Each structure stands twice: as C-alpha cells, then as structure tokens.
C-alpha cells in the first residue's frame, strides 16, 4: 500500500513542501532560485481559479487586455515614488545577442502601472472614454531577496492586475470598495480563503498610492500571507503620465485611478495550506484539478466496462479521471486523496448487482450510494456541500486565530500565533517609529486597521505609551 505523508500538517513547513512535491503540483529542480516548473494539477487548479476571477471582473465591467512583458526604463522612471519602491526588485534586460547593448534598458515587469498608463494617456481623450476598466492575467517578475517557497514567495508568479481610470475621486473610491467585494465573492466564497481587509499604514503603502487596502489571510503556522490588495492611486500616476480628459464643459482634467492585484499563485498556496490535511490536498469543488475519480475495486471485466461507461458520462460535465492502473484499490484511494480528488466513485461487483454507485467525499470521507440515473446531479450537490464545509471549517479556524494583546509582555507570549489586536498610536507617519521598534524587538509587522468595522481604541500604544489613536493588527508575515 502507498505510504502516507512523512510529515503531519502540524509540521507545516515540511508538510507543505512534501505535499507540493508528492501531489505533483510543482517540480522544484529547475535550477534557478525562485522559479519552479508548474505540473498539471497546479496548472488545472490555477486555470479554474483564473476563470472564476475573470468572470467576476468582466461581470463588473472590466475588459481583458494583454500588455508586453517589458517596460522601457523611460516609462518606469516617470513616477518617482513608484520607481523607488520597486527598483531593488526589478530584473533588467540590457542587451541582445552576445554583446550588443540595447539603446534603452527594459524592465521585466514587476507590476504594470508604468507600462499600462503610458497607453492610458493615448487612449483617454474625453469624458466619454471614462470609466476605463481593464485587466490582464499574466506573470510578473521580482527579485525577492527573502527565502523563496513555491506558491508563497517566488521571483516569478502568476496573478491578475486590474487598472481603472475615472473622472472623479468618488468613482475611484467606489471601485476600491468593489474590489473588496470581488475578493469576498471569489476568494472567500469560491476558494474558501478567509481574510481580513486592512487599510495599510502610511509607511507600508503600495509605491505611488494614496491609500492601500489589503486582504490578509493566515497560514497554519500562524504567519500572515497577504492576498489581494487594492490601491487608490488618486492622480499620482495621471499627472506624470499626463492622462487627461476633456469634461463636458470643455475643461481638461487629470483622471483618478485605482489598481487591484489578485495573486492566483498565492491564493493556491492558501488553498493548499488551509484546506489540506494529513492525507494531502483538499480542494473546493470548482477548482479541484480532479473533481471526480473513478476507481474499480475489482478487475472483473464487467466492472471495468462499467467504469469506462461512467467515466465517459462524468467527464462531459466534470474534470474526471479513470484509474485503471494495476495498483490495489487501497493504494489508489490513498493516492487520489493525496492529490485532492474531490469525489471518488467506487465500482465493484456489489455496485453492479445493486445497480448503484458508491461516492466518497474527500473532505469528510463520508460514503453515499446513489442510483446511476441521479449520478451527475448528486455529484453537483456533493461538490457544493464539500465547498461549503471547507469554508465553514476555514472560517471557524480563522476566527480562533485573532487574539488581544494589551501589553508588550502579552505580545511576547503570543507573537507569531496569528493576528494580535493591539492599541496603537497612529497609522500615519508618526506611527512609523513604533512599527520599526516592534519589528526589531519581535519580528512582527503592523498590518493596519480593519476596513469592515470601526474599532474604538482604549488605553495606550503598546510601544510608545501615548494615548491609542486606533486599533491595529500585528503579526509575523511571509
């Protein structure tokens, strides 16, 4: 029988790397730090995740675009703060062939504002051209200096970036709220990833933004992983890039902008980490690489024939596999549980005799006998129940990972165990020094103030002792 995983999920770091390898998500032997080979199950899951996110973006008025992967240095240099924020991470293309240098360096995009907004300045002329809402699904490259880990932190990763331009600040602020709604609608309700949206401190904004709002989730080891962020850019890019429109009165004005970055790569990391168990992967049904696997429990000719018949029927609606290898049924059960097949169909002599099929759910292991005529509808139903169960389990766990800490002694005892909710002086620049002291003493970061509700501060800032001006959440991050 197939051996189980060597590491339980409680040993998260080792478990994560073992699952990624053993379940066939990635091959880490490519030989370039921070770059991995994505294997079919990871690609299938990410493609399903992309589809759900793209459908939601388009439902809300975004159009798909593809922009070049390179950005001329002259464009990249136009927004000073943005350049300073990303310059250390940029991969530069400086020559072609063996020796010939390029006339102008090209940045391999770390993010696309400076490339896309050059085109905005050409496309937008009148108030009739607004709003302009677009997105692209693509790769970006950043020379991360921290330790890399597949799907969590790398130098090449897959995401979606949405870029929007409006006539007024009010419209731009409304888009930021809509971006948050999309995060809830897709990342939470479809992928089952719980999160809290925070307004980031001034010292931790996206380079060039007026305000940054980011969704933070947690990994099983208590560390925070940032998921989608949305940025109110104001006119910080429209002015240097001269993105102007003529309003209905004939006056020229700069547009107001936002950008939004759901990282599919990191979301897959959260799906693996949050829903997986000691047996391996567990996926919400819509994004499972294998939604249904069909396994014969005997090599009887009639059983194999029925398995093939059911496979042809199921694969028309779901991502399905038929396992006809010569392994034992027990080995196959373990293997497909490791790989996260959402629903297993078992067929043997008993099923042929009773004219039923045995279905087993990956999340609970519960088994159900159904009539063949109701199979597809039952799979659909079980898939939805599986997803809702994963969301419920994840939400309950996530809620248990938020603790209060009102003194540095409490912070010391609870550091690294999820979110700590603490009184703080300010998330404006005057709070930066306290944040640096917190990071230096405890390796903790200030994530910001909650967006979804106002929390009344009481007491004093845990670092400087001044009256608390807000409640912030702190934690150890990836």
pLDDT in the model for residue 100: 79
| pLDDT at 2 exceeding the cut of 90 | no
Mean pLDDT to the nearest integer, 218-239: 97
Mean pLDDT to the nearest integer, 261-287: 98
pLDDT in the model for residue 458: 93
pLDDT in the model for residue 416: 87
User: Tens of pLDDT along 355-388?
Assistant: 999 999 999 999 999 999 999 999 999 999 999 9
Q: What is the mean pLDDT of the chain?
A: 96
| pLDDT at 66 exceeding the cut of 70 | yes
**Percentage of residues in the chain having pLDDT higher than 90:** 93
Mean pLDDT to the nearest integer, 230-254: 97
Residue 419's DSSP bridge partners are 402
Mean pLDDT to the nearest integer, 153-176: 97
Mean pLDDT to the nearest integer, 43-47: 98
**CA distances from residue 169 to 121, 178, 247, 443 in whole angstroms, order as listed:** 18, 14, 14, 37
Mean pLDDT to the nearest integer, 65-85: 87
pLDDT in the model for residue 79: 76
pLDDT in the model for residue 470: 98
| pLDDT at 144 exceeding the cut of 90 | no
| pLDDT at 450 exceeding the cut of 50 | yes
Phi, psi (deg, nearest 5) at residue 444: -110, 150
| pLDDT at 293 exceeding the cut of 90 | yes
| Cα 284 from chain centroid (whole Å) | 14
User: Tens of pLDDT along 419-443?
Assistant: 999 999 999 999 999 999 999 999 9
Q: What does pTM read for this prediction? A: 0.95
Provide the 3-class DSSP secondary structure of residue 286: helix
Q: Which residues contact 284 (CB under 8 A, 6 or more apart)?
A: 190, 191, 192, 271, 275, 386, 387, 390, 391
Per the structure block, which two tokens stand in for 467? Answer: 């009256």
Helices 375-399 and 301-314 pack at an angle, to 10 degrees, of 70
Domains within the chain, CATH numbers bracketed: 12-275 (3.30.930.10), 292-382 (3.40.50.800), 404-475 (3.30.110.30)
pLDDT in the model for residue 212: 98
pLDDT in the model for residue 3: 66
Please report where in the chains the tokens 């996530």 appear, as a residue: 398
Cα separation of 271 and 286, whole Å? 12
> What's the half-sphere exposure (Cβ side, CA atoms, 13 Å) at 20?
22
pLDDT in the model for residue 454: 94
User: Tens of pLDDT along 77-87?
Assistant: 887 778 787 88
Cα separation of 99 and 95, whole Å? 7
pLDDT in the model for residue 78: 83
In 3D space, the residue among 144, 174, 168, 170 whose CA is nearest the CA of residue 260 turns out to be: 174
Least confident of 95-104, 151-160, 244-253, 359-368: 95-104
Mean pLDDT to the nearest integer, 102-115: 93
Where residue 1 falls among pLDDT bands split at 50, 70, 90?
very low
Residue 158's DSSP bridge partners are 139
| pLDDT at 400 exceeding the cut of 70 | yes
244 and 144 in contact (C-beta within 8 Å)?
Answer: no
């Amino acid at each position: 029988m197939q051996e189980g995983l060597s590491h339980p999920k409680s040993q998260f770091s080792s478990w994560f790397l073992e699952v990624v390898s053993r379940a066939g998500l990635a091959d880490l032997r490519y030989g370039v730090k921070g770059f991995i080979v994505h294997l079919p199950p990871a690609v299938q899951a990410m493609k399903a995740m992309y589809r759900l996110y793209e459908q939601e973006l388009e439902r809300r008025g975004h159009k798909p675009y593809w922009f070049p992967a390179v950005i001329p240095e002259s464009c990249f240099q136009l927004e000073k703060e943005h350049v300073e924020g990303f310059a250390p991470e940029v991969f530069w293309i400086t020559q072609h062939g063996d020796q010939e240098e390029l006339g102008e360096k090209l940045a391999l995009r770390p993010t696309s504002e400076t490339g896309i907004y050059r085109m905005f300045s050409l496309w937008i002329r009148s108030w009739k051209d607004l709003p302009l809402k677009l997105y692209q699904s693509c790769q970006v490259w950043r020379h991360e200096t921290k330790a890399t880990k597949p799907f969590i932190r790398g130098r090449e990763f897959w995401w979606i970036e949405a870029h929007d331009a409006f006539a007024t600040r009010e419209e731009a602020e409304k888009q930021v709220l809509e971006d948050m709604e999309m995060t809830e609608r897709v990342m939470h309700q479809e992928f089952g990833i719980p999160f809290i949206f925070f307004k980031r401190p001034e010292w931790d904004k996206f380079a060039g933004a007026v305000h940054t709002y980011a969704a933070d989730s947690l990994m099983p080891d208590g560390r925070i992983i940032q998921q989608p962020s949305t940025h109110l850019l104001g006119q910080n890019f429209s002015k240097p890039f001269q993105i102007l429109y003529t309003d209905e009165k004939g006056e020229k004005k700069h547009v107001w902008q936002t950008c939004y970055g759901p990282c599919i790569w990191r979301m897959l990391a959260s799906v693996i980490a949050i829903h997986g168990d000691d047996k391996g992967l567990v996926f919400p049904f819509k994004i499972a690489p294998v939604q249904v696997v069909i396994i014969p429990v005997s090599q009887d000719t009639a059983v194999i024939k029925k398995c093939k018949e059911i496979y042809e029927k199921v694969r028309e609606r779901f991502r399905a596999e038929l396992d006809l290898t010569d392994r034992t049924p027990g080995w196959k059960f373990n293997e497909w549980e490791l790989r996260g097949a959402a629903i297993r169909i078992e067929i043997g002599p008993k099923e042929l005799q009773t004219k039923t099929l045995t279905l087993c759910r990956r999340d609970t292991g519960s088994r159900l006998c159904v009539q063949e005529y109701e199979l597809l509808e039952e799979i659909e139903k079980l898939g939805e129940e599986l997803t809702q169960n994963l969301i419920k389990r994840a939400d309950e766990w996530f809620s248990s990972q938020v603790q209060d800490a009102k003194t540095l002694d409490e912070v010391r005892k609870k550091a690294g165990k999820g979110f700590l909710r603490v009184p703080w002086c300010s998330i404006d620049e005057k709070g930066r020094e306290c944040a640096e002291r917190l990071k230096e003493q405890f390796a903790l970061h200030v994530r910001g103030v909650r967006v979804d509700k106002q929390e009344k501060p009481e007491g004093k800032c845990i670092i400087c002792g001044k009256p608390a001006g807000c409640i912030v959440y702190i934690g150890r991050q990836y």
